[in-house]
Amino acid sequence: MTVPRPPDPIPGARLAFTLDPAVSHLNHGAFGAVPLPVQRAQQRLRDEMEANPHRFFDRGLVDRIAHARRHLAGFLGADPDGSALVGNTTTGVAVVLQSLGLRPEDEVLTTEHCYGAVALSIHRECRRSGASSRVLPMPISATDEEIVEIVRAGLRPGRTRLLVVDQLTSATARLLPVAAIVGVAREQGVPVLVDAAHVPGMLPVTVAGIGADFWVGNLHKWGYAPRGTALLAVRQPWRERIDPLTVSWEQEGGFPARVEWQATLDYTAWLAAPVGLYTLRCLGVDRVRAHNAALAAYGQRVVGDALGVAPAHLPDPGGPAVAMRLVPLPPGTATTVDGARALRDRIADRLAAEVAVMAWGGRGWLRLCGQVYNSAEEYERLAVRLPPLLAQR
């Protein structure tokens, strides 16, 4: 069986990261990896903060945050004045949920691909408000057209208060047609929140063009920003209804300042985030994206072959630019959340490889990512060593 050639490495890219070379880091989508220039930029900001905390927090910090936000929003094609920096995507989702004013007769609609922490946030807000939540089944093999029709049939105008949909799913690495989904929901008067945690940096995006009422994505995964950096974009009719999770001194300043200003939060991640995008541009945005997607596809084929999975049974992510791929694990392997975590830890401890193991749809899946610091040899080594490890169970 012929496996396509891996992409050529990007010269010097691996040297931009301080990752442990004794470990294969094949799960960039979980926590990202901060390039050395970005680490140094953030450390300089921390040094500035600690040299004179009074000056750092009291003189111009709100404007510096706004400047960073404008830079990040511009990269994502979002309205800078209609966006706010938040700590991560799940924080942005929580901000939106608690700002809606849900009532007992309302429901929040998601799909079975919804990220676990987002689902927990929805359940908490529904418990507080008396509203209900509902999950739409959506097969991993569904086409874009089928996905849109599943959503169309699942909406309940007048009752569905919010639809939460992933742009790129975390558990199943599937790219969803969010613009078409937003269009269908708008026809029925249902607001949409797009969870785009994995999109910034990995995929080209124009947030304003999607038209979602709310869109939130992390820049600390594929955008090389320090951890704790995400952008929440809000359409005009909703902006003044958005309240932060914690009230602080910019509460009367309106959106987005009231969401961004959280007193003595460490803002250095946000201020250093533009350096992450600068690093991405220096490496070549299109070059990095093409490399990462091709490397993830190569890893999927190599490991899939080793596990006896035919290419036709390897999930297609719905787009050639997706740098995360799934490999189905043998039946009965990692079929529960606890089982998936245990296998992930065994792979890390025994094979020195950091991967994601997911329990979804009644079976276990291995999720592999591609990033500029990875090499083809890392996937090949995993392919050789993983089958014996699985056989030991």
Q: Write the CATH number for 138.
A: 3.40.640.10
At 4 the pLDDT is 76
In a domain, 7, yes or no: no
83 lies in the same domain as 226: yes
| Residue 1 in this model has a pLDDT that exceeds 60 | no
Residues 372-390 pLDDT 10s? 999 999 999 999 999 999 9
Q: Write the burial class of residue 48 (CB in 10 Å: 0-12 exposed, 13-18 middle, 19+ buried).
A: middle
In the numeric block, which tokens belong to residue 348?
């890390």
197 lies in the same domain as 97: yes
Task: For residue 2, name the pLDDT band (cuts at 50, 70, 90).
Answer: low
238 lies in the same domain as 366: no
Mean pLDDT of 171-184: 96
Give residues with Cβ within 8 angstroms of 289, minimum separation 6: 202, 203, 204, 321, 323
Q: What are all long-range contacts of 140-147, with beta carbons under 8 Å and residues at least 24 apart?
A: 140/172, 140/174, 140/315, 140/360, 140/361, 141/315, 144/176, 144/177, 144/180, 144/318, 147/176, 147/177, 147/181
Beta strands in 55-198 (DSSP E): 83-86, 107-111, 132-136, 160-166, 192-195
At 55 the pLDDT is 96
pLDDT cut 70: percent of the chain above it: 99
At 246 the pLDDT is 87
What single DSSP character describes residue 199?
Answer: -
Residues 208-255 pLDDT 10s? 999 999 999 999 999 999 999 999 999 999 999 999 988 988 889 889
237 lies in the same domain as 374: no
Residues 313-327 pLDDT 10s? 998 877 789 999 999
242 lies in the same domain as 158: yes
Mean pLDDT of 332-339: 96
Q: Write the burial class of residue 316 (CB in 10 Å: 0-12 exposed, 13-18 middle, 19+ buried).
A: middle
Query: Pick from 254, 278, 302: which residue ends a domain?
Result: 278
Q: Write the burial class of residue 392 (CB in 10 Å: 0-12 exposed, 13-18 middle, 19+ buried).
A: exposed
In sign, the C-alpha dihedral spanning 39, 76, 200, 324 is negative
344 lies in the same domain as 256: no
| Residue 393 in this model has a pLDDT that exceeds 70 | no
Mean pLDDT of 1-15: 86
Mean pLDDT of 32-55: 98
CATH number at residue 342: 3.90.1150.10
243 lies in the same domain as 353: no
| Residue 119 in this model has a pLDDT that exceeds 70 | yes
Range of the domain at 228: 38-278
In a domain, 248, yes or no: yes
285 vs 216: CA distance, rounded Å: 21
Mean pLDDT of 135-148: 95
Query: Pick from 241, 259, 278: which residue ends a domain?
Result: 278
230 vs 209: CA distance, rounded Å: 19
Task: For residue 111, name the pLDDT band (cuts at 50, 70, 90).
Answer: very high
Query: Pick from 260, 278, 296: which residue ends a domain?
Result: 278
Distances in Å between the alpha carbon of 375 and those of 305, 314, 351, 370?
A: 18, 21, 16, 9
